[in-house]
Amino acid sequence: MITILDYSVNNLRSVQKAFEHLGHQTQVTSDADEIARAEKLVLPGVGAFGEAMRNLEAKGLIDPVVAHAQSGKPLMGVCLGMQLLFDWSDELGVYSGLGILGGGVHRFTDAPDLKIPHIGWSGLTFPRESKLYHGLENGEMTYFVHSYHVQPEDPSIVAATAHHGQTFVAGVERENVMGAQFHPEKSSAVGLRILDNFGKL
């Protein structure tokens, strides 16, 4: 069973439908007890970092998510959900994150002819083998919608990169904790392969 966290700022249904299309059982919940019992947890997200953290705190979900990560059970953050795994973000102020992974979240640097937010398809590069991105080849295209990107303290957790004016981290993985900056549920067959990799862990 894959548990998808509902904290009022995310694209729940599209993520759920993608997993179910692949044959994985899912549940969507904001119940802390359900999250504590989850076998595999997905933290989706669209919107602003600060609002997301306020919603998680208001619903009493921060401790269950951190405990899940510490338990060794699979945890996947998607888009904003991946950013929330880190220590902090400077989006519209400075906000603390979940602190599961070390590092911060920064806006793309303004440059001539660079469109922010980054919206559209970009190719991935994989600096190392990982469970989440297993079986994919360099150049596989995925769909992004974001103005901010993560900068991990530990470069060894980087599992995928992409390019938009600069090379940025598109995916992370440290043991059971993993993430995708792009939207796998909107990334056609490549995205489904990534979600299936997670579902089969």
The CATH class, in words, for 2-199 is alpha beta
Residue 183 designated active-site: yes
pLDDT reported for residue 6: 93
- Active-site position among 91, 140, 173, 185: 185
What distance in Å separates the CA atoms of residue 152 and residue 157, rounded to the nearest whole number?
Answer: 8
- Active-site position among 68, 118, 164, 183: 183
What distance in Å separates the CA atoms of residue 111 and residue 100, rounded to the nearest whole number?
Answer: 31
pLDDT reported for residue 186: 95
Residue 134 designated active-site: no
pLDDT reported for residue 143: 98
Q: Which residues of the chain have pLDDT under 50?
A: none
Q: Pinpoint the alpha helices (H) of the chain.
A: 12-21, 32-37, 49-58, 62-71, 80-84, 188-199
Residue 91 designated active-site: no
- Active-site position among 79, 118, 146, 164: 79
